[in-house]
A and B are shown apart, each in its own frame.
Chain A
């Protein structure tokens, strides 16, 4: 239980709803279908930079991929999120996920043309990986799965971390499925 608690403390999962900003909720099937790249990896760099039009600040995150669940990647996977720090100024975009070097993630990325890919659905396109009892890799909390209906109840025992292997199996299946 202690290890589980530590795992919960160690990982944060961004599941379908919300973010500070007002989002349109999306389930895992939509994310898997719409993503051009789905990758699991570890954050190796977090860099603030100007946006292409030099009008704002964004952050580019570099992942060292461990597995590609959809699409192909070169040696690294990069994606961008709005906001970040550059020079004297910090641009804080409420709801934009934050990253630190060393974090293990699963990311759902979309791309528009030759630009650096972006997270689908902003914070909804990131799942964080932690460690549970016995060292099992977990994705927390449970993702919004298609076909599951009814009120979302906080605090029930069924809301448990999902094993990473099960999560990736579901993602691969959803990515292949027709919509």
Chain B
């Protein structure tokens, strides 16, 4: 984070054409994932006549979390990159228990979950304005969520769409690194399966802040 701030505060350096022409880009940084709710599931028993009676309620959420991510991209056209990324988020499942008919106190039961997202997508840059270049991105991925102790692995799929900004600076060593900078993006990530109770696609917000280098 300090490195990102340093980039912003440094006196401006002329933006070199080489930054745009660089083929490869590697980035690494932080990724925040928003919480995902799985709705309410009641613990029901059968009553005379075949109806149901709720004995307590449960509401389960995959907690929001801060993690890390890294990506590699390759420029296939002037403004288009193909990108592969991995994101790691230590998160957790929380189940809120309430309304117990025998008066047991409301409780939150928790279990840690380790989440990995392996994504691939396209990144399309817009018109550069000084050192800042906007972009849009979209793609899909493979979701892997490991329950506590890795006793159970749940997998699924992800889809994402978002937009962000590059802040690009020319490298001081253009023969080795053509450009460095920071990027931030906000995306909507749509997850299916994994620890979720069903195959409903659920959307969560995600924010990434990373440093990058282009070669």
Answer whether residue A24 sits at the interface, using C-beta atoms and an 8 A cutoff: no
Count of inter-chain pairs, beta carbons less than 8 A: 10
Answer whether residue B102 sits at the interface, using C-beta atoms and an 8 A cutoff: yes
Answer whether residue A88 sits at the interface, using C-beta atoms and an 8 A cutoff: no
Residue of B nearest to A152 (CB): B102
Which A residues are CB-close (under 8 A) to B101? 151, 153
- Per the CB 8 Å criterion, the residue count for chain A at the interface is 5
Which B residues are CB-close (under 8 A) to A155? 102, 104
Answer whether residue B11 sits at the interface, using C-beta atoms and an 8 A cutoff: no
Size bracket, chain B contacts: under 10
Q: How far is the CB of B56 from chain A (nearest CB, A)?
A: 13
- Mark A144-172 against chain B: 1 for CB-CB distance below 8 A, else 0: 00000001011110000000000000000
Answer whether residue B103 sits at the interface, using C-beta atoms and an 8 A cutoff: yes
Q: How far is the CB of A157 from chain B (nearest CB, A)?
A: 11
Give residues 23-49 of A contacting B (CB, 8 Å). none
- Mark B94-127 against chain A: 1 for CB-CB distance below 8 A, else 0: 0000000111100000000000000000000000
Residue of A nearest to B104 (CB): A155
Which B residues are CB-close (under 8 A) to A151? 101-102
Give residues 74-103 of B contacting A (CB, 8 Å). 101-103
- Mark B183-199 against chain A: 1 for CB-CB distance below 8 A, else 0: 00000000000000000
Residue of A nearest to B103 (CB): A153
- The answer for the CA separation of A151 and B53 in the assembled complex, in Å, is 13
- Mark A91-120 against chain B: 1 for CB-CB distance below 8 A, else 0: 000000000000000000000000000000
- The answer for the CA separation of A154 and B100 in the assembled complex, in Å, is 12
User: Which residues on A are within 8 Å of B, measured CB to CB?
Assistant: 151, 153-156
A-B contact pairs, 10 of them (CB 8 A): A151-B101, A151-B102, A153-B101, A153-B102, A153-B103, A154-B102, A155-B102, A155-B104, A156-B102, A156-B103
